[in-house]
Amino acid sequence: MSQKIASYDRFSDDLRDAMRIANRFAKAMRSREIETPHLLYALIKEPTGLAGHLLRCQGLSAKEIKRSVTRPDASQRQFTIFGKLPLSQNGWGYINDAIDHAIGERHDSVGTAGLLRVMILQAPQVIDILTNLNVPLSDFEKDVAKYLHRHMVENPGEPLYFDS
């Protein structure tokens, strides 16, 4: 799978912070890579992003999401102190879909709400976690889309473009 961004320079500040949080969380869980549940935890843990705000408005907490994330079995565990863990192939797929959406909507960056919306629609692990926490997914996805439109489209900056 191709990666449209080698670095996070076109990510919003809050999404860059969330990626750092996801990396730390995945390491703490002794995972080999950053998976989508780590990203979900990071989105709610990141204090300034729109995704975290919307998740907290659903009555969710970082602690609840953290409890929902399963540790890898012993054969899949890894101990990493320094450096970045790789993002899973699924994670890159969701990031790329969020990028495609941002480009299509002429957003000036890829933010936490864009990634959250993609994961609500496509990520089975995230869908399971939110369903188990009694989040009405259809209504929640509409809310995320509405706030994303209001935040990114009604107040646009320089459009986001990537070289092929």
| pLDDT tens readout for residues 110-144 | 899 999 999 999 999 999 999 999 999 999 999 99
Q: Which domains does the chain have, with CATH numbers?
A: 13-71+84-153 (1.10.1780.10)
Lowest mean pLDDT among 46-50, 77-81, 94-98: 77-81
- CA–CA gap between residue 88 and residue 8 (Å, rounded): 16
Alpha carbon dihedral 120, 121, 123, 126, in 10-degree steps, equals 20
* Confidence at residue 159, expressed as pLDDT on a 0 to 100 scale: 44
More confident residue, 106 or 35: 35
Mean pLDDT within 31-60? 94
pTM of the model: 0.84
Nearest to 144, CA basis, from 42, 82, 60, 51: 51
Q: HEC string of 28-50? A: HCCCCCECHHHHHHHHHHCCCCH
Mean pLDDT within 57-71? 91
